Chain A
Amino acid sequence: MKGPLSKVLTIFWKDILLEIRTKEVVTSILVFALLVLVIFNFAFEPETATMSLVAPGILWVAFTFAGVLGLNRVFALERENSRLAGLLLCPVDHMAIYWGKLLGSFTFMLAIEIVVTPIFLVLLNLSLFLPRLILIIVLATLGFTSVGTLFSALAINIRARDIMLPILFLPIVVPVIIAAVEATAVVLQGGPWGDMLTWLQIMIAFDIIYLVVATLVFQYVVEG
């Protein structure tokens, strides 16, 4: 008998293996996120004083949109050839499926952000060494994927799912977006830890609340 953790890791590894072999999701969304950054440079005049003010917003809009696209794929993948039915027939708890899928989407999004963030900093001529930004990205990404994985599973059951996921997802993650943008602004301006503490607390609270709630309600989304 395997423990719950190894079941979660098995599901997680299945998604990772699939991604390593097809390279579908990460590559295309990475290019999309970079495009959003570039497009925003056309929308706002680059290399002006206002750039440092809008920079956190640009970064997080890119990540949010990229996240929505990626999350659309998390369960859409399982629609083909009744793979979801197969997954649900696995002798594992539904919570394990949620956590496996969550770990997968979290890893994919983080992989994209690891590549996009340095490019973003280079394009805007900002300092590359920002360890505090890593903390913000991890917390915000966990918030995005905790809700997003649940909604991704929900969206595959409904018509117009491609548009419904962002419509569901964006209002719910408003607190994370606000907190991430504000905390990133503090980091980019070299502000003290104290200034970003409140925002980190909001993200931590959001992450914990939604990890618990989503774990509890996930079974109702996938049943039947």
Chain B
Amino acid sequence: MNGRSALRHYILVGLGFALMVAALYMVFIYVPTDKNMGAVQRIFYFHVPLAWIAFLAFFVVFVCSILYLTKRDMKWDVIASASAEVGVVFTSLVLITGSIWAKAAWGIWWTWDARLTATLVLWFTYVAYLLVRHYVAEDSQRARLGAVLGIVGFIDVPIVALAIMLWRTQHPGALIFEGGLVTSMLITLLVCIIAFTVLYIILVVQSTRLKNMEADIRNIKNNRPD
């Protein structure tokens, strides 16, 4: 890591840290407690950004997969796999925070509602993506098969969403946005979204760097003179 990229790295991590502290302050102290739902509503400031950024992460996988297949540059494959890992972690957190909220608001941990089910299917799709990558030993083959799955999986998202939406829908989530979002709540949500976006970028950058180092070590090992 040269001087300039190290500096960039520290700025990014510092920014992420400051934003996360600000987000925590706003969620727990600044923003007023929701009149109807009470304190549990505060989880929504983490839940919604996580969901959006998980989706962004899978979109990045999709774009990088197409770029890999057209340009055949391993760089895109590394970013795609890093983004998928972060996406799966964020999707898991979405499902967990959603369950906590649902238990308090609806009295149940889980319901086969459209968004919940679609998120779960999405989670399975990208866990399968990561598993396949794990089961392929050779680098270029892993990149190729991963890219195919990154494309095929993402195209499924709108069809799954539509099919499940028609199948059943009870999620009151959209109401939160249409109805009473006070300015202070909206600002808090925006800060949280920015904080989580920066967190996503930090994680992908770190993971990408780690994967590149691993690849370097593998190459050095394989080219040993003995």
How many inter-chain residue pairs (CB < 8 Å) link A and B?
87
A220 within 8 Å of B (CB atoms): yes
> Quick check: which of B38-46, B155-163, B183-191, B195-203 contacts chain A, the rest being far away?
B155-163
Instruction: Check: A154 CB closer than 8 A to any chain B CB.
Output: yes
Query: Is the CB of A217 closer than 8 A to any CB of chain B?
Result: yes
Flag if B163 contacts A179 (CB, 8 Å): yes
A10 to chain B, nearest CB (A): 26
Whether a CB of chain A sits under 8 angstroms from the CB of B144 is yes
| Docked complex Cα distance between A222 and B163 (Å) | 31
Task: Check A158/B135 contact, CB under 8 A, given A167-B128, A168-B128, A172-B152.
Answer: yes
A interface, by DSSP: helix, strand, loop or mixed? helix
B217 contacts across to A, CB distance below 8 A: none
B residues 122-146 in Cβ contact with A at 8 Å:
124-125, 127-128, 131-132, 135-137, 140-141, 144-145
In contact, B136 and A157 (Cβ under 8 angstroms): yes
Main secondary structure of the interface of B (DSSP, over half): helix
* Chain B residue at smallest Cβ distance from A150: B152
Contact assessment for B124 and A220 in the assembled complex, using a CB-CB cutoff below 8 Å: no
The contact of B162 among A167, A171, A175, by CB within 8 Å, is A175
User: Which of B124, B132, B159, B160 meets A158, CB within 8 Å?
Assistant: B132
Contact for B149 among A168, A175, A209, CB less than 8 A: A168
Q: Known contacts A159-B135, A178-B164; can you find 8 more A-B pairs with CB under 8 A?
A: A147-B152, A154-B148, A159-B137, A172-B156, A174-B121, A174-B160, A210-B152, A210-B155
A-B contact pairs, 12 of them (CB 8 A): A154-B145, A158-B135, A164-B135, A171-B125, A171-B128, A175-B156, A175-B160, A202-B162, A205-B159, A210-B155, A220-B147, A221-B145
Tell me the A residues contacting B by CB distance below 8 Å: 147, 150, 154, 157-160, 164, 167-168, 170-172, 174-175, 178-179, 182, 198-199, 202, 205-206, 209-210, 213-214, 217, 220-221, 223-224
